[in-house]
Chains A and B, each alone.
Chain A
Amino acid sequence: MADSTRPANVSDPGEAIPSAGRLLFVAAGVVFWGWLLATWVNRWLGGPVVPVGEPFVAPGTVESALAALPLLSAYATDLAFVTRISPEIARGIWLTVVITVVSLAVGFFIAVPLAVARVYGRLTAYVSLVYTELLRGTPLLAQLFVLHFGLNMGQYVPVALSDVFARNVVWVAILGFVLNGAAYQAEYIRGAIESVEEGQLTAGRAIGLSKVETIYYVVLPQGLRYAIPSWTNEFVYLIKYSSLAAFITVPELYYRAFEIASDTFRYPMIFAVTGLAYLCLVLTATELMARVEDLVAIPGVGGDRER
């Protein structure tokens, strides 16, 4: 992120007139998320606006409307097709978003202790090291296969959780991404913790805080702020890596796209649209994290600090 000029941050609309590019970016975001939310809500409520699985505008209407326009007439058929598949795409995005967010959030709570153990532990540092290298050093797809086909983890999903998704395999995918993502997150957080000055720990100990208390009250609040920019990488990666869940039959975005493609054989068009959807998700994630970084920024900690 080009955040070296932190004071002129983009999250404060009062400070500067937004550029045209910025306006376009925001407008695209509103359209994307408006369409997504509307499609999801329509499905959850059993189709009060349009029947579930149908687009909000009939593909035929799109085609005839565009055919009348001089510049867009050549793409009328394609865009009508995109309109037709859009409800399935939105349905796939739902699982992609849920899997990513849940995996990232749960993984975070494993990653922090892993990182702390790595920096401040003795024996635990080795445990953390072995875990991290094992999970980072083997293919994620292989890990998912082991969890799903090898260990059949789906059978252990507790009853309370198995009602959340139509199929338990979603939980298996989340488990895989949690275990793997925690290892990557731990590396980002470890690097950030190590950049917190040694004197901070000494000062905490000197007023009588224990080592654990000092880490909790002094080191982590600073380290986690430093970690935000690199941690955003993991967010972005996970959005895209979550497509590997398709290989253990989780019907997320990539799975839906592949299904439609093998039905219609319109691979280039479908994967262009799918790619665009992933891009929108990734841009949302980076925008979100930039705002989080601004929100928690403290003078002298992160943001304007050289890394």
Chain B
Amino acid sequence: MSDADSNPDADANADADANDAAESGDRDYLRVADISKWYGDEQVLDDVSFEMDRGDVTVLIGPSGSGKSTMLRCVNRLAEAQEGEIFLDGEEVTAPDVDVDELRREVGMVFQDFNLFAHLTALDNVALGPRRVLDLSEAEADERAHAQLERVGLADQTDSYPAELSGGQKQRVGIARALAMEPKLMLFDEPTSALDPELIGEVLEVMHDLVADGMTMLVVTHEMSFARAVADEIVFLDEGRVVERGPPEQLFDNPEKERTARFLDRIASHD
């Protein structure tokens, strides 16, 4: 994002953003503004907007195919929005001259399928980013990786390969890997959807700890009890559109829109 700073054309924008940030303090730490995206003719995101403060937890819910994951991926530019803007900590993420690799250092991501590096031990999975992206020394990177694995309760599995870990352990390594980059924001893309039911708890526990530590988290999940417990705001997406958003107690207990109520009913009947 330093590219944007050094670009004189972007200065006017950057100043305006800085003013915005100064006025609002931690307000609008992440600001998603009118994001639209198409795959071919099919519109997958339609004017999606929401904001998060620093330390907030926002949970995106919605039926499959509603664009939740795509929305998440637009934030770290794994997917490109065609319209709209996203700002993180006052800087425009969606600007064409943003260095995406630099952006991704600051935005951690946890995947549904874990996507651990299959040829690396748990420790090396976590240490790879610090080593190769942050250019830390081998010792510093290992130390940081150790600390993060300990944080997710896997200090005793540092030398295990992904194939030797349970699904829950894999996902905790995945979280540690993202945390090791010391991100400003963590994105969770259905982190428990690929897990056996008895393994979901250990991952949610780690996520609860992160919330307690004040991590800013944008989470796509179907774990409604988790959402209710930790979310500052719930955003309900359907067919690429924000149908309704609000604090969990309001959205879950008194949804304004009929579509929200129907979706929640359907989810509840499966619990």
Contacts and interface: CB of A to CB of B under 8 A. Distances in A.
Q: A and B bound?
A: yes
Interface of A: 197, 199-200, 202-210, 213, 217-218, 221-222, 225, 298-301
Given A208-B101, A222-B119, A298 B181 contact: no
A208 B118 contact: no
B104 A205 contact: yes
Contacts of A206: 76, 78, 104, 108-109, 111, 178
Interface of B: 76, 78, 101-105, 108-109, 111, 113, 115-119, 128-129, 132-133, 161-164, 177-178, 181
Interface of A, helix, strand, loop or mixed by DSSP: helix
Contacts of A213: 132
> Of residues A203, A204, A207, which shows the largest number of chain B Cβ atoms within 10 Å of its Cβ?
A207
A208 B117 contact: no
A213 B134 CA distance: 13
Given A213-B132, A217-B132, 12 more contacts: A203-B116, A203-B117, A206-B108, A207-B105, A208-B103, A208-B133, A209-B129, A210-B101, A218-B117, A298-B161, A300-B161, A300-B164
Nearest to A203: B115
Contacts of A222: 118-119
B118 A202 contact: no
Contacts of A207: 104-105, 108, 128-129, 133, 177-178, 181
A261 to B, nearest CB: 49
Contacts of A300: 118, 161-164
A222 B119 CA distance: 6
B242 to A, nearest CB: 25
A217 B125 CA distance: 11
Contacts of A218: 117, 119, 128
Contacts of A210: 101
Contacts of B164: 299-300
A58 to B, nearest CB: 55
A22 to B, nearest CB: 29
26 contacts: A197-B118, A202-B115, A203-B111, A203-B115, A205-B101, A206-B78, A206-B178, A207-B128, A207-B129, A207-B177, A207-B181, A208-B101, A208-B103, A208-B104, A208-B133, A209-B129, A217-B132, A218-B117, A221-B119, A298-B119, A298-B161, A298-B163, A299-B161, A300-B162, A300-B163, A301-B161
A180 to B, nearest CB: 30
A208 B119 CA distance: 19
A6 to B, nearest CB: 12
Nearest to B181: A207
B161 A200 contact: no
A209 B133 contact: yes
Contacts of B108: 206-207
Nearest to A204: B117
B21 to A, nearest CB: 23
